[in-house]
Structure 1
Amino acid sequence: MRSRLRRWRRIAALLGALLVCLPPHLLWKLSGRRSPWPPIFLGLAARAVGVDLLISGVPLTKDVFFACNHVSWMDILALGGATGTAFIAHDGIEKWPVIGWLAAQNNTIFVARERRRGVTEQVDVLRSALREHQPVTLFPEGTTGDGLALLPFKPALFAVMMPPPRDLDVQPVYLDYGSAAAEIAWHGDESAGANATRILGRKGKVRLTLHFLDPFDPEDMPDRKAIAAEVRKRIEARLQPSLVSFPAV
């Protein structure tokens, strides 16, 4: 019963955040200007679902490509609210009711993982987004992990960095849920609905620390694999002692 009450209370808070942010966002879009409301909504949504956010380090505010480990859908709420970043996501999310539309409002870049012929087009979309100066975030693991290990990185989308479309930096980010990581993680055999039900009914808040690590210039790297390896090395250096790292590929 208490779990159900917590779930509905958090859903109500999410809907309240949406009702506050959506009307002014749509007005900004009608005016043809870039709306400041998506990151405001994401920040409010993160708090609504119980994220207690801390920031370590200094996040770059523009001309930056964030690369992060991935644990939960809450990563997107917290990181988007803190930095105003757009995200790279697989195109299946674009078709999700409501969620796909909301993701598009934050300039999410939907990529087709299974269509090789679309790679050039996807790189062009990424370059276009970076030219607009909005931060862009990639989860190079390609999926959520179990919160206890760093999965192999998939360097293919780092191709947008070779050569960089403008003067920008890559900034690795370590998302640290502490001892709650295993509980928060979106497990591979868990449906989206089951995961949301479990997380929204969870007791108490969850502490998430965003560790913004030292950025580097992708022009110093010979290729996309080297960029992925450098990101991985820097995140590995901040992993909790209890966590392990699978070998890079």
Structure 2
Amino acid sequence: MTRAASTPAPARGRTIAPWNWPLVAMRLALLLATLLLCTPLYYLLAPLTARNPVPRWFLRAVTAIAGVRLRIVGVHPAGRTFFLANHVSWLDIPAMAGATGTAFIAHDGLAAFGPLRWLCGLNDTVFIARHDRRSVAAQVEQVRSALFETGALTIFPEGTTSDGTALLPFKSSLLSALEAEADADQIPVQPVWLDYGEETRDIAWAGAEPGLDNALRILARWRPVRLAITFLPLLQESERVDRKAMAHAASHAISAAMATRRG
């Protein structure tokens, strides 16, 4: 996942009430127990399967432990798919992975923390240096390889999180991975709208809020986090003529879905 955007966020109380800390502690204990259970299972199954199912099981459990109540709208292709989704919260990642088994493209800043890099690596995360314009060609090649090796792959074209009420401009450079290979035409490209409903602004990791503060604030919630993942229609051939057309079509589809809810 990328670091939060500079999109202004509403003022929030940063202090967690004393009576909420037992809930945080319980959820952290459950997350640790799930990790300790899934890690040996992952390595046990690794030699037996091309696409290890344990990361999906683990991330699905993370979603539930964090209090997310997930609703799926629409359908997505089974197997290899390129998802283009809006990005609101760190919860987007376990929710999408649990629902689809997707891997992700993430900023290489996450790789600086060894345990997190290891954990992301178990789910075949592709780390790229978004701000290094000199390595764009190499990054595109990484994405192209991942598309053919990992199955479903998700990119957040905004490049960071927003407050969820509107989309940031979609970056299109990494979509070049779908231009150069003839076989890439056979890979479905699907826009996805991640919607936290009326509490989107409160859930969003945006503005200057540190990531740890946001995570603890979410884990301290007694109310469930309601997330609808809407799989929008696949991009058509006319919308895939080049990377900019794909970015525009996906952004338009998600924006239209958001406008429908507001209406």
Q: Is this contact kept in 2: 1:67–1:137, CA < 8 A?
A: yes
Counterpart in 1 of 2:228?
Answer: 209
Letter in structure 1 aligned against 2:214? N
Q: Which residue of 1 aligns with 2:4?
A: none
Measure how far apart 1:97 and its partner are: 4.0
8 Å Cα contact 2:136-2:173 kept in structure 1: no
Of 138, 144, 168, the residue aligned with 1:151 is 168
User: What is the percent sequence identity of the aligned residues?
Assistant: 43
Q: CA deviation at 1:114?
A: 2.1
RMSD between superposed Cα atoms in Å: 1.9
Higher mean C-alpha deviation, range 55-64 or range 74-83: 55-64
CA distance in 1, matches of 2:237, 2:114: 37
Gaps (5+ residues) in structure 2? 1-17
Name the counterpart of 1:71: 88
- Residue identity in the other structure for 2:121: A
Match of 1:89 in 2: 106
Aligned to 1:222: 241
Aligned length: 244
In the TM superposition, residue 61 of structure 1 has moved relative to its aligned partner by 1.9
Give 1:201 deviation, angstroms: 0.9
Q: Which residue of 1 aligns with 2:127?
A: 110
Cα drift, residue 192 of structure 1 = 1.3
Question: Would you say 1:189 and 2:232 are equivalent positions?
Answer: no
Match of 1:177 among 196, 215, 232: 196
Secondary structure of 1:150 counterpart: coil
Aligned position for 2:36: 19
1:36-90 residue CA offsets vs partner (Å, 9 max, x unmatched): 1001100000001011001000021222100000000000010001100000000
How far, CA to CA, are the matches of 2:146 and 2:77 in structure 1?
Answer: 16
Partner Cα distance (1:179, 1:97) in 2: 36
Do the aligned partners of 2:157 and 2:171 also contact (CA within 8 Å) in 1?
A: yes
Give the corresponding residue for 2:6: none
Partner Cα separation in structure 2 for residue 147 and residue 179 of structure 1: 10
* TM-score of the aligned structures, taking structure 1 as reference length: 0.92
Question: 2:63 corresponds to which letter in structure 1?
Answer: A
The Cα shift of 1:236 comes to: 1.0
Distance 1:218 1:103, change over 3 A: farther
Question: 2:61 maps to what in 1?
Answer: 44
Contact 1:56 1:209 in 2 (8 A): yes
Cα deviation 1:20-45 (Å, max 9, x = unaligned): 21111012235574311001100000
* Structure 1 unaligned blocks of 5 or more: 245-249
Distance 2:65 2:168 in 1: 29
